Amino acid sequence: MTKPSSRRKKATSATSRDSTPLDDQDLEDISHQVDPASATIMVTAVEIGELTEAEESDRLHLERQVEKAFYLAGKALMELRDRKLYRNTHKTFEEYCRERFGFERRYPYRLMESTVVVDNLMKMCPNRTQNDLGADTFPTDSSEGQILPINEYQLRPLIPLEPEVQREAWQQAVEAAGGKVPSGRVVKDVVQRIMERTKVPNTYQIGEVCQILVKDNLELRGKGGCWAIVTAVNEFSCTVRIWDGEYTVGLQYLKSYSYLPAESEQIQSLSDRLARIYLDSLEETVKSLLQSLGKLNRPYLTGVEEKLLTLLESEYRKEIT
């Protein structure tokens, strides 16, 4: 048998006696030994020390920053929208959010709707105010105060509910989660049970013309009073088409116009004409006119209204073909 070189002996011996790191040559020597398994490689254990009081404080502060981020984002978006602080660079709020933050059309509204729900949940804890969510502490367990959500996904199932039902559902979800912050799935399951308990049959029919009731639904802001044509009937909502697109709307935000079939057909024809004109890039004055026509509480146009709509159809025909 070939006698191992002194270099190999040295490498093997060194690794068995101390924790000196092995270099590439050491590892290559070991791999060529007759019995590589006999080599012992020492690994120095790294002790994980306890956090200091200052580090614990820093960790808590940073965790709270993450937890309240969605709430602060929603508040900021509401102010940007309400004050139209995007107007010098973008025509619409949706376009601004898409290009500035990469948000799809629905997401900014989800964040804003979530802040409304959080503000409502805060009412269950009278000793706290909205300012608490902007401070360094954001209560998420019973030792600190009320348990509040930490992301907008947890709140999505609550958004269509009435304020008092939102609070009831959240309390039940917290209990179901063992007194901790519940997941979105837990909240959804609780809401489903409540909806089934208080279920109101959906009696709307496809093609029926309804009126939009905004109430506290931020996504429908500016759509109050618009007529909406039902295109799909869901369990607790309807998909409707209005002058600027389609929306899925909870039953509490709809009210039937009770039009006759012929009148409903007239509204559908008008809706199709408005939809063929509408574009995100339209001037605000044109959008305002289309919105006004989309809020008529009658199934016909006056002579002047017909002329205005015909003019718009002629003016924007190239853009929609």
- pLDDT tens profile 7-23: 444 444 444 444 455 55
Q: Total structural domains in the chain? A: 3
Distances (CA, A) of 106 to 103, 111, 192, 235: 8, 9, 22, 21
Lowest-confidence region among 20-29, 71-80, 165-174, 306-315: 20-29
What is 108-136 written as a DSSP string? HHHHHHHHHHHHHHHTTSTT--GGGGGSS
Q: Quick one: 79 and 148 in the same domain?
A: yes
Do 215 and 192 sit in the same domain of this protein? Answer: no
300 occurs within a structural domain: yes
| pLDDT on residue 35 | 56
The pLDDT of residue 145 is 57
Angle, CA of 229, 235 and 240, to the nearest 5°: 15
Highest mean pLDDT among 136-145, 243-252, 298-307: 298-307
| 92 in any annotated domain | yes
- Domain-located, residue 48: no
Mean pLDDT of 33-44: 54
Q: Is the predicted pLDDT of residue 132 greater than 70, yes or no?
A: no
Residue at 53 is within a domain:
no
Domain check: are 27 and 128 in the same one? Answer: no
88 and 117 within one domain: yes
Find out whether 212 and 223 touch, Cβ atoms under 8 Å: yes
Provide mean pLDDT across the span 311-318. Answer: 78
Secondary structure element (H or E) that encloses residue 212, with its range: strand 209-212
Q: Provide the pLDDT for residue 247.
A: 84
Between 127 and 73, where is the model more confident?
73
pLDDT at residue 315 is higher than 60: yes
Cβ within 8 Å of residue 271, ≥6 positions away: 227, 229, 241, 242, 243, 294
Same-domain pairing of 175 and 215? no
Confidence band, pLDDT 50/70/90 cuts, at residue 269: confident
Kindly state whether residues 309 and 281 are assigned to the same domain: yes
What span, in angstroms and rounded, lies between the C-alpha atoms of 41 and 12? Answer: 9
pLDDT tens-digit profile of 169-208? Answer: 999 999 999 988 999 889 988 988 887 776 667 888 898 9
pLDDT of residue 151 exceeding 60: yes
50 part of a folded domain: no
Whether 45 maps to a domain, the answer reads no
Give pLDDT, residue 24.
53
Residues 87 and 110 in one domain: yes
Per the listing, tokens 């057909």 go with 265
CA distance 56 to 62: 10
The answer to whether residues 166 and 289 belong to one domain is: no
pLDDT at 173: 93
User: What is the per-residue burial (b if ≥16 Cβ within 10 Å, else e) of 112-137?
Assistant: bbbbbbbbbbbeeeeeeeeebbeeee
Does the pLDDT at position 134 exceed 60? Answer: no
- Please say if the pLDDT value at position 131 is more than 70: no
My answer on whether 154 and 188 are in the same domain is: yes
Q: Is the pLDDT score of 94 beyond 50?
A: yes
| Token code pair at residue 97 | 């959010």
35-39, 66-70, 192-196: least confidently modelled range: 35-39
Average pLDDT, rounded, for the chain: 77
Taking Cα atoms as reference points, which of 303, 241, 297 lies closest to residue 271?
241
Q: How far is CA 288 from CA 187, 243, 284, in A?
A: 39, 11, 6
Domain boundary among 168, 197, 226: 197
Indicate if 189 and 67 belong to the same structural domain: yes
Which pLDDT tens digit goes with each residue over 277-294? 887 778 888 888 888 888
Same-domain status, 181 and 67: yes
Lowest mean per-residue pLDDT among 1-10, 82-91, 96-105, 286-295: 1-10
Domain hosting 168: range is: 59-197
The pLDDT value given to residue 317 = 63
Same domain, 189 and 64: yes
Measured CA distances, 241 to 224, 225, 298 (Å): 14, 14, 17
Within a domain: 89 = yes
CA gap 229, 264 in Å, rounded = 9
| Residue 105 in domain | yes
